[in-house]
Amino acid sequence: ISKTRDERPIVLPPHTSESAFETALRELRELLGEEWVKCNDVALVDGDYHAVPLSHDAYHILEQDDLVPSAVCWPKDTEQVATVVKWANRHKIPIWPISIGRNLGYGGSAPRVRGSVVVDLGRRMNRVLDVSEQNAACLVEPGVQYITLYEHLQEIGLGNKLWIDVPDLPGGSVMGNALDRGVGYTPHGDHWSQHCGLEVVLPDGDIVRTGMGALPGTDCWQLFPYGFGPYHDGIFSQSNYGIVTKMGVWLMPNPGGIRPFMATFPREEDLAAAVDALRPLMVQKIVGNVPCLRLGVQDATMYHKKTEFPLRENGLIDRKKAQTMIDKLGTGAWVFYGALYGPDEITAPKFDYIKKALSVVSGAKFYERKDVPSNHYLNDYAKFTAGIPTWRELDRMQFIPNASHLFFAPISAIDGKDALRQSHMCRNRMEEYGFDYLGTFFIGHRAMHHVISFMYDKTDPEMKKRALSCIRALIEDAAKIGVGEYRTHLALQDQVAGTYNWGDGATMRLNEKLKDALDPNGILQPGRSGIWPKRYRGQGWEL
């Protein structure tokens, strides 16, 4: 083991002696090349969004050195990924694949089991392998980021013809985000639903292609998702059943125009009426993108540090007093951002229709880009909804010093009562634990992702503990009323998995049967989504 610097002892994989690990790493270096395997003995530096460490979770919510790998390796192609998997089986060393490792708020690049070997796919497998202009589809490797896909389309002269979907920040992996079922802003904002065809290395090193990819010589791998027989793709998202090495993605043909707009609602209780008015617009796809309904205070964090808000004695934002500040931004108590696609002849009457529908909320106001100043978020939103990457979301990191995010992200029906109940539940718990409720509903065609950001100072251990305890309480509160989360941080995955327990835990029994069949040695991502392989189960790994 190369102790290049005397900075930090290496955390060994479980059940592995130092000499066994040394032998295993020597072998891995022979397989991949000396420079493509590194021990994790470096100092733990949190960095920032542009410099995310591979040594630990940059937004650590446990101890900084809790979720740390023993080493990192960089395979160059699918065959080398299979080689790494077989190596892991021989040595019974857990491995943790990442595409880019910017899963900030959910665990970053860190593995769930200390001492796992991180397999960083993105460094060397980062090509856009194919773009079909006529079918508006592409095939990507793990290291293709939103920003690099965008730039690639510009470079090959298709940037104006084919649009991508970007999340808030474009440094993540198109594949990694979809595999974690992330969300963006255009009609393609449900990223998993817009993938078509996977290439996967299974935990025993076998390589499969899903859907039409199973048919040699097919032209339809990126066009028809199902192929023949059982449809396997679902078991490779938010799971530990395979390492994805190629993924098809559908792109959006330039619709010929776009009309981003915002609607503001003056009172916090307007949430219910606004959501009820939005439901038919979403179910009927009159609003065709993934719009969002954001708390005015949350919107204001884009422009102001916490210290600039009027605060109550308990240190939380005084919402009543803050309203004057929020009104200056033209934001309202809740603000809805949406976009309509197509030429003006189509979007102008649609916009009129939407204004009429949302005007059931008294005091609702409507804005387009021409109505707001140039630094207004609506101008960034206009970019998001046209698939143009922006870094504006980073402005929010100024809110508190050493800001980190932890997300509580329950699913809600598009139902006013449900949304209001969730919003009250979250606000009450968060305020009890000393956090401002900063929520946004991302609205799909049948359900909403209620993404709530816990902003905490990662250098403050007491605040970290409070944030974790608060989310734990919220997960429990939510489960009691039949509400569950769509995604969660590594430290909370056992708890969330435990709430999806219909039929006396039937889902987890199925997950475990699959895990034991596909990964008998338990080498791939033990503990991801609360799924533990046999050799870890019941041994006290659950958090």
The catalytic site residues sit at 106, 486-487
Are 524 and 243 in contact by the 8 Å Cβ rule? The answer is yes
Per DSSP, helices labelled H in 359-397 are: 377-384
| Residue 175 found at the interface with ligand FAD (CB under 6 A) | yes
Distance CA 476, CA 481 (A): 9
Mapping DSSP to helix (H, G, I), strand (E, B) and coil, where does residue 248 land? strand
Are 37 and 28 in contact by the 8 Å Cβ rule? The answer is yes
441 to 470: interface string for ligand FAD, x by CB under 6 A = ------------------------------
Closest CA to 423 of 443, 435, 437, 402: 437
Distance CA 483, CA 475 (A): 8
The only residue of 12, 100, 340, 419 in contact with ligand FAD, by rule CB under 6 A: 100
Closest CA to 243 of 533, 542, 534, 528: 528
Distance CA 337, CA 168 (A): 14
Q: How far is the CB of 503 from ligand FAD (least distance, A)?
A: 26
Distances (CA, A) of 320 to 296, 306, 310, 454: 12, 15, 9, 21
The only residue of 182, 187, 213, 522 in contact with ligand FAD, by rule CB under 6 A: 182
Q: How far is the CB of 247 from ligand FAD (least distance, A)?
A: 8
| Residue 403 found at the interface with ligand FAD (CB under 6 A) | no
Distance CA 62, CA 82 (A): 32
Looking only at residues 331 through 370 of this chain, which bind ligand FAD when binding is defined by CB under 6 A? Answer: none
Q: How far is the CB of 180 from ligand FAD (least distance, A)?
A: 4
Mapping DSSP to helix (H, G, I), strand (E, B) and coil, where does residue 211 land? helix
| Residue 176 found at the interface with ligand FAD (CB under 6 A) | yes
209 to 248: interface string for ligand FAD, x by CB under 6 A = ----------------------------------xx----
Choice between 55 and 177, CB closer to ligand FAD: 177
Choice between 58 and 277, CB closer to ligand FAD: 58
| Residue 429 found at the interface with ligand FAD (CB under 6 A) | no
- Strand-pair category, 258-265 with 334-341: antiparallel
The only residue of 123, 405, 464, 489 in contact with ligand FAD, by rule CB under 6 A: 405
| Residue 180 found at the interface with ligand FAD (CB under 6 A) | yes
| Residue 144 found at the interface with ligand FAD (CB under 6 A) | no
| Residue 16 found at the interface with ligand FAD (CB under 6 A) | no
| Residue 56 found at the interface with ligand FAD (CB under 6 A) | no
| Residue 177 found at the interface with ligand FAD (CB under 6 A) | yes
Closest CA to 276 of 195, 360, 170, 198: 360
| Residue 298 found at the interface with ligand FAD (CB under 6 A) | no
The kind and range of the H/E element at 258 are strand 258-265
Q: How far is the CB of 409 from ligand FAD (least distance, A)?
A: 9
Size of the site for ligand FAD (CB under 6 A): 28
Mapping DSSP to helix (H, G, I), strand (E, B) and coil, where does residue 418 land? helix
Q: How far is the CB of 98 from ligand FAD (least distance, A)?
A: 4
The only residue of 13, 14, 105, 416 in contact with ligand FAD, by rule CB under 6 A: 105
| Residue 38 found at the interface with ligand FAD (CB under 6 A) | no
| Residue 491 found at the interface with ligand FAD (CB under 6 A) | no
Tokens 């835990």 -> residue: 505
The only residue of 393, 415, 431, 512 in contact with ligand FAD, by rule CB under 6 A: 393
| Residue 389 found at the interface with ligand FAD (CB under 6 A) | no
Are 137 and 250 in contact by the 8 Å Cβ rule? The answer is yes
Distance CA 530, CA 543 (A): 9
Choice between 16 and 186, CB closer to ligand FAD: 186
- Looking at this protein, which amino acid is placed at residue 294? R
Choice between 99 and 412, CB closer to ligand FAD: 99
| Three-state secondary structure readout of 68-119 | CCCEEECCCCHHHHHHHHHHHHHHCCCEEEECCCCCCCCCCCCCCCCCCEEE
Choice between 112 and 361, CB closer to ligand FAD: 112
Choice between 21 and 185, CB closer to ligand FAD: 185
Q: How far is the CB of 119 from ligand FAD (least distance, A)?
A: 9
Closest CA to 455 of 473, 437, 443: 437
Which range binds ligand FAD by CB under 6 A, 99-107, 311-319, 415-423, 507-515? 99-107
Count the Cβ atoms, other than its own, within 10 Å of residue 478. Answer: 23
Are 234 and 312 in contact by the 8 Å Cβ rule? The answer is no
Tokens 């009429």 -> residue: 356
| Residue 427 found at the interface with ligand FAD (CB under 6 A) | no
Are 527 and 113 in contact by the 8 Å Cβ rule? The answer is yes
Q: How far is the CB of 287 from ligand FAD (least distance, A)?
A: 18
- Strand-pair category, 117-120 with 95-98: parallel
- Looking at this protein, which amino acid is placed at residue 268? E
Burial class (CB in 10 A: 0-12, 13-18, 19+), 480: exposed
The only residue of 14, 53, 143, 167 in contact with ligand FAD, by rule CB under 6 A: 167
Which range binds ligand FAD by CB under 6 A, 17-25, 172-180, 352-360, 454-462? 172-180
Distances (CA, A) of 80 to 30, 34, 43, 206: 12, 14, 28, 12
Choice between 41 and 120, CB closer to ligand FAD: 120
| Residue 103 found at the interface with ligand FAD (CB under 6 A) | yes
Q: How far is the CB of 96 from ligand FAD (least distance, A)?
A: 6
59 to 98: interface string for ligand FAD, x by CB under 6 A = -------------------------------------xxx
Residues that bind ligand FAD in the complex, under the rule CB under 6 A: 96-105, 121, 142, 167-169, 172-173, 175-177, 179-180, 182-183, 243-244, 393, 405
